[in-house]
Amino acid sequence: MIQAIGLTSNPRKDLPAAVDDVSFQARTGCVTALLGASDGGGTTTLRLMLELQQGRGITYFRGRPLHHIAHPSREVGVVLGDVPGHPARTVRGHLRMLCAAVGVPVTRADDVLEVVGLVSLREQVLGTLSRGMDRRLGLACALLADPHALVLDEPTGGLTAREGAWLHGVLRAHAARGGTVLFTTDDAKEAARTADQVVTLEAGRLVADQDAAEFARTRLRPRVAVRSPHAARLAALLAKEARSLRRSVEVVQEGGSRLSVYGNTCGEVGETAFRHGILVHQLADEVGDARPSTVDAREQAPVGQGRGPALDAEAGARSGSDAREGATRSATSAAGEPRESLQEAPVASTHDTAAERPPVADAAPAPGADGPTRITPSAASASQSSLSPLPPPIAIRTAPNPLRPLRYELRRAAGVGTGYLTVAAATALSALLCLFLARTGHTPQLRLLAAWPGELPLPPAALGAGLLGALAFGEEFRHPALAADRGTVPRRLGLLAAKLAVAAATALLLAGLTVGCDAVVLHLVYGGELTEVPPDWLSATASWISFMIGCAWAGVLAAGVFRSTTAGLAAVLAVPIVVVPLVQKALEGPSVRSAAGLPGRLRELTLLEWPLGAERYVAGGLRMVAQPVGSALMLSLVVLLGAYLLTAVRGRAR
């Protein structure tokens, strides 16, 4: 159950609050529609419920607010607009990445793809999906962690009638399995046809909270839907009889063979057609406007609805019955109290909870029953299981797993070609640059192998490592695949550690690949003179690897703090351009004391026997840190890490 209590958005400048003191309940096992105009406050209400927007009030999901739920995606599946994924990522890759994030097996991605009908498009990239396919993928993402509740904002917006019927069938099946469904819509017919409970908002205020039958009876306009090849003649006869009887009857010819008669009943319209020998293909009580379509009504009927009298009348007409038999059958099925048909867009049958009524064996309406058809959850689930299957329930371990964010980060980084292109571009540029530097003959060997001329603040490999690190968080904020449950990219330390680890591994790979390619190119072009191993190769290698990893980490932290890839790369460039001059200026001047013998004192402090040659490695690392670039990089990393932790703590405090 979802309980929204006193939801109120923060007031805007000189404007009333978009949502003002809205309270309602969405019951378990039911589909609840939040009805309102596009600016009526439905979307804002959902954002307040999901804590994506600041305001007053609280929402309980099975008795707990969202910020007290350790894994919100396992409690609430959310569909808000388009799928927030990288346009170059494949459908299957996106779902597998989310599987790693929520801690479910990767086979779950194939299960939900089969449910939403995207198996044949699993290798298609997100940027090429149509609106309907994007909605299907969004529903697949919401079902991935097998949540109890589904919360959707305008789920059928821009979809065809058949796609909308399919989506509502999945929602009905989820509710019949014991879940809770809440969706917003601005179409009263859709709310009455597909929901069990309709909550109506106007100008951000709650004006009605009714079940579907009561909503249809009090807030929708009833009418008689008629299909006949002689629609114009029948319309003229009905209008003539209304004038003679001085009754308020409105006949609207909707084009082709379809009529909508307001202020009359099925029986009276059928009798008029019978007296004048007019063939009738459909005669049904409805509310609102039915979808004009020639598709078989059984394909368009919402999941869980039985075969109504209108279908019997149409079947009789198709089987060759004459005009009088068709009209008599239609009029007979609608005799007595007006009855709502279940053909295309009439009011949906209401679904009560099992505690409110006894179960029935068949969901189809009885031939002489009056009033709207009632379907039990057991009958609904029996019929819906074949039409809208759901992925099987799964057992998810709630214990924290440190490898979960690492798996997610690996799939995120390897799922698109941006990282591969960056590595290839940095390697190729380094090879060309080292050839040019070797031709001039003024660059030392160590800087030559790194393709680092003195005129550039950073070598191409370091820029590539910084860009890869900046993309780790920059792409998260640009395409927030993890933001559906929290509203923003989560600043968990586990996710940060995973990004730092993957960035370090990528930088290490790029460092080795760059030096190796440069050495091969120099050996091929100029011979082996420029590729001789220097005597201090060990300390030089450690310095080069540390420098590359530091650039990658600076990009990760800066992009996480400033929420931008550009800001992350700018922070990497700022180290040699801005921070190094400041460090050099701070270290200028005479020094009274030196740190000679620091490795030996560190060994005495640890009280352990160091391996042979360990002091030499420590001394090399200290010399690297003592360099202006190393000192500036260390200072930048400390400042960026502190800023990231500060923003993470501030986000949790909210």
What are the start-end ranges of the H helices in 401-530? 403-414, 418-440, 445-449, 460-478, 493-526
pLDDT at 513: 94
Beta sheet of 250-255, edge-to-edge order: 250-255, 258-262, 222-227, 282-287
pLDDT at 7: 93
pLDDT at 245: 87
pLDDT at 543: 83
In a domain, 290, yes or no: yes
Q: Are residues 436 and 305 in the same domain?
A: no
- Give the count of domains, the chain: 3
pLDDT at 360: 30
Q: Are residues 438 and 490 in the same domain?
A: yes
In a domain, 364, yes or no: no
Q: Are residues 553 and 642 in the same domain?
A: yes
Q: Are residues 68 and 198 in the same domain?
A: yes
Q: 182, 199, 218: which is the final residue of a domain? A: 218
In a domain, 608, yes or no: yes
Q: Are residues 341 and 424 in the same domain?
A: no
CA gyration radius, the chain: 34
Q: Are residues 173 and 307 in the same domain?
A: no
Q: Are residues 189 and 233 in the same domain?
A: no
pLDDT at 401: 65
Q: Are residues 493 and 582 in the same domain?
A: yes
In a domain, 537, yes or no: yes
In a domain, 382, yes or no: no
> Tokens in use for 78?
């959310």
Q: Is the pTM of this model over 0.85?
A: no
Residue-number span of the structural domain to which 131 is assigned: 2-218
Q: CA–CA separation, 200 vs 22, rounded Å?
A: 10
Q: Are residues 70 and 148 in the same domain?
A: yes
Q: Are residues 230 and 302 in the same domain?
A: yes
pLDDT at 400: 56
Measured on CA atoms in the order 282, 287, 289, 293, is the torsion positive or negative?
A: negative
Q: Are residues 428 and 571 in the same domain?
A: yes
- The DSSP letter of residue 68 is G
In a domain, 158, yes or no: yes
What are the start-end ranges of the H helices in 527-609? 537-562, 565-574, 580-587, 598-606
Question: Crossing angle, helix 231-245 and helix 266-275, to 10 degrees?
Answer: 110
Q: Are residues 278 and 207 in the same domain?
A: no
The answer to whether 196 touches 182, Cβ cutoff 8 Å, is no
- pLDDT beneath 50, residues of the chain: 289-387, 485-486, 592, 653
Residue 86 φ/ψ, nearest 5 degrees: -65, 130
CATH of the domain at 112: 3.40.50.300
In a domain, 395, yes or no: no
In a domain, 386, yes or no: no
Q: 326, 345, 364: which is the final residue of a domain? A: 345
Q: 278, 310, 345: which is the final residue of a domain? A: 345
CA atoms within 13 A on the CB side of 133: 14
pLDDT at 395: 60
